[in-house]
Amino acid sequence: MQNLFADIPAQLPAELFDTLFESPAVQIERIVSKGHASPATGWYEQDRNEWVVLLQGAARLVFEDDREIEMSPGDWLEIPACRKHRVAWTDPEQVTIWLAVHYP
C-alpha cells in the first residue's frame, strides 16, 4: 500500500511527476507543486484526455481562450485532448498535490 501524501521532498526545485499506474489505456500520476507554474509562453497540449483533481493546496489554470479556473482541494475537471492549457500559479506557501488520469 502507498499513500498520495507520503514521500514528498522538503525542497521542490521543480514540479514532481510520479506515475502511479500505467497501462496502454490509462496513465495515473501524482503531480506535486509548490509555487510552480508553466512558462508564460508554454502550453500543455496533450494528445490524450486528462481528468485532474486537486487534493491539497491551491492552483490556477489558464486555457488558450483566456478562461481561468481557480482550484481548491476537491475541485476536479476534465481537459479534452489537444486543449491548450497551462498552470498559471500554485500556492508558494504550501504543497499542492494533483491526481491526474490520462486516457484516450
CA distance 99 to 65: 24
Q: What is the pLDDT along the chain (104 residues), one digit of tens a residue?
A: 999 999 999 888 989 999 999 999 999 999 999 999 988 778 999 999 999 999 999 999 999 998 999 999 999 999 999 999 999 999 999 999 999 999 99
- Domain-located, residue 5: no
Q: Does residue 6 lie within any of the structural domains?
A: no
Residue 9 covered by a domain: no
Let me know if residue 44 belongs to a domain.
Answer: yes
Give the pLDDT of residue 39: 84
User: Is 4 within a domain?
Assistant: no
Identify the CATH number of the domain in which residue 61 sits: 2.60.120.10
94: left (phi over 0), alpha (psi -120 to 50) or beta: beta
58/28 Cα distance (integer angstroms): 20
Its domain, for residue 41, covers: 16-103
Q: Is residue 3 part of a domain?
A: no
Q: How many domains does the chain have?
A: 1
- Confidence (pLDDT) at 72: 98
Q: What is the pLDDT of residue 32?
A: 97
